[in-house]
Chains A and B, each alone.
Chain A
Amino acid sequence: MAQSWKDHHNLFLVATGLLAWLVPGGGHFLLNERRRAAVIFVVVVLTFLVGLYVGSIGIIDPVGAKPWYAAQIMNSPMVYFLGRVSATGKYPVYGRPNEIGQIYTSTAGLLNLLCIVNAVYLAHLRKTEKTDD
């Protein structure tokens, strides 16, 4: 029985983490933290879109800028598809727009990573608090 609970608990944690990665704020939404989810969604998506607007989709470069791409993909799996589009080389971007765009999109990704970890931690805390009661 305990093993079964633990299995479900781990599954729930994985689902929370995955949802938080799929949609920024999704993990908190699953935990009924609607306001927190809305704030996270708006700010992370806005930061990412500003970065994309400044530097164009060319800043998502899975070939020439792998460390930046690793941070960018934490926004959402959608970034993978944008990366495939920009990998065609049709959207070259250089100089300051490239720097600012990469910094914005990567920071948005790292902020979302923080939110993913926070959502999983909250889910874990709630489950353990329930079993303590």
Chain B
Amino acid sequence: MAAFSGILLASFTTPMHIDTNPVSMLWLLPLVASIAVVYKATKVYKIVAFPFLRESAVLFWSILVFVVVVALFLYGLGWVVTDLLPNVLSGSAF
């Protein structure tokens, strides 16, 4: 029991190893799920298992779609500013 407690405490004093790659973006998913569930818990009139889960799932996907759309927009904006505009300007009179 003491060894188990020691391991448990130690796991909260040493950070995990997470690479800086696109896969680390998946850490977004549990957070979005938390936000959706807690927000819905404060909004629904009465918590009944199935309707509550359905409403939380709808909010989860809504947030996810919005995040993806914003990410694509920002990626496009970045491409225009860093790739497209310099090429257009270098071919102009400037």
Contacts and interface: CB of A to CB of B under 8 A. Distances in A.
Nearest to A122: B42
Q: Which of B11, B27, B39 has the most CB of A within 10 A?
A: B27
A98 B14 CA distance: 11
Given A53-B11, A107-B31, A40 B17 contact: no
A114 B42 contact: yes
A106 to B, nearest CB: 10
A125 to B, nearest CB: 12
Nearest to A103: B31
A70 B79 CA distance: 36
B93 interface: no
A29 B71 CA distance: 39
Given A43-B38, A103-B31, A96 B20 contact: yes
A111 B35 CA distance: 7
B88 interface: no
Chain A interface size range = 20 to 34
Nearest to B14: A56
A46 interface: yes
Given A43-B37, A54-B18, A100 B13 contact: no
Q: Which of B12, B24, B30 has the most CB of A within 10 A?
A: B12
A96 B18 contact: yes
A111 B38 contact: yes
Contact of B12 (A40, A56, A107, A118): A56
B47 A114 contact: no
What 7 pairs across the A-B complex have the smallest Cβ distances? A97-B15, A118-B42, A35-B47, A96-B18, A47-B34, A56-B15, A111-B38
Interface of B: 11-20, 24, 27, 30-31, 34-35, 37-39, 41-42, 47, 52
